[in-house]
Structure 1
């Protein structure tokens, strides 16, 4: 089981995303739109509205309920979402992997919050979800996100040419992974048992 909330600093905590986050997500994403533009797909204006975020969360919660995703937000002192972290594409069985994506509001960037949250999510993925590895990708030029991943123990393992359609064109990405543990999955037989 994944704990509900974790304090990252005096003002900010990491907690699971809830439906009522739609309004503050819309405000934070709209405020950070230009800041995040080089690293994000071009989104319709409706994405930056409460209704647009409500629709996005419905899909995200569907993936969460099916065991394919684990979404969190950074929440400020007034419980407003000021960043988002999502472990998506979760696969169990012998793979035990997920893909991490994240963003932090422009007003909270540069405070180490992404690093603290990614470290914590890695622990929760290992201990709460039983994952073996997490992967993440960044646009080649996104040095800030690459520093976060390196500080959190991710290793670069390759480059994916024209990986995602970001900011109006196909962009190459650096691919990273972190191996969370070397033990066997708790719910699968080991060689000695087989």
Structure 2
């Protein structure tokens, strides 16, 4: 997929993640570890190493080449300040994927997540050919819920015990955005 990079707001670039990003992505995760802890699964210590991130980015690159995910990073002044990823891409009659993202604690309130979600929805529709995107948030994650609602996602339900987050099974609110009504490619 030819997606390229794009400035999404105030000098912040959204671009496809690359294994060469491992040192900077590792630094971003280490810096934001406590901030992200309530919202993410528990991670092995290797996740917070350059080698762990390089391996993960190499796996993502392979899945990207297969058309199964699209992994982006947010970059501001040469520093990685978050990620956003379409995962579980399925074409055919489903034409759907899942959306996940995070933004560094010191970047909150700048509109980065909103700008990135809008860009990703455009790429998902125009380049990937998706009909819809699904996203879930912890019930108490009202910040992410506001981002999704601003970007045209609608709440579609509650998923009890949906994901194992920070050491326990947690309920999530489910959202979707329908991108278009065109028939899928045959």
| TM-score, normalisation: structure 2 | 0.96
Deviation of residue 77 (structure 1)? 2.1
Instruction: Tell me which residue corresponds to 1:92.
Output: 91
- For the aligned residues, what is the CA RMSD? 1.1
Deviation of residue 9 (structure 1)? 2.1
Give the structure with higher Rg (CA).
Answer: 1
Distance between the aligned counterparts of 1:92 and 1:5, measured in 2? Answer: 24
SS of the residue 1:67 aligns to: coil
Q: How does 1:67-106 map to 2 (within 5 A)?
A: 67-78=67-78, 80-106=79-105
Question: In 2, are the aligned partners of 1:7 and 1:13 still within 8 Å (CA)?
Answer: yes
Partner deviation per Cα, 1:11-68 (whole Å, 9 max, x = no partner): 2110111111111111111111111111101112221111110111122122112111
Where do 5+ consecutive residues of structure 2 fail to align? none
Distance between the aligned counterparts of 2:109 and 2:41, measured in 1? Answer: 22
Distance between the aligned counterparts of 1:90 and 1:3, measured in 2? Answer: 15
Distance between the aligned counterparts of 1:99 and 1:3, measured in 2? Answer: 18
Where do 5+ consecutive residues of structure 1 fail to align? 189-194
Partner deviation per Cα, 1:70-126 (whole Å, 9 max, x = no partner): 010001122x32111110000001110010000111121221100000000000000
Distance between the aligned counterparts of 1:145 and 1:83, measured in 2? Answer: 14
Instruction: Tell me which residue corresponds to 1:27.
Output: 27
Instruction: Tell me which residue corresponds to 1:10.
Output: 10
Instruction: Confirm whether residue 167 of structure 1 aligns to residue 172 of structure 2.
Output: no
SS of the residue 1:52 aligns to: helix
Instruction: Confirm whether residue 61 of structure 1 aligns to residue 61 of structure 2.
Output: yes
Deviation of residue 2 (structure 1)? 4.0
Larger displacement relative to structure 2 (169-178 or 55-64):
55-64
Instruction: Tell me which residue corresponds to 1:146.
Output: 145
Question: In 1, are the aligned partners of 2:18 and 2:58 still within 8 Å (CA)?
Answer: no
Runs of 4+, deviation exceeding 4 Å: none
Q: 1:2 to 1:148 in 2, by over 3 A?
A: farther
Instruction: Tell me which residue corresponds to 1:42.
Output: 42
Deviation of residue 3 (structure 1)? 3.1
Question: In 2, are the aligned partners of 1:67 and 1:90 still within 8 Å (CA)?
Answer: yes
Distance between the aligned counterparts of 1:156 and 1:59, measured in 2? Answer: 31
Give the number of the structure whose residues are more often strand, by fraction: 2
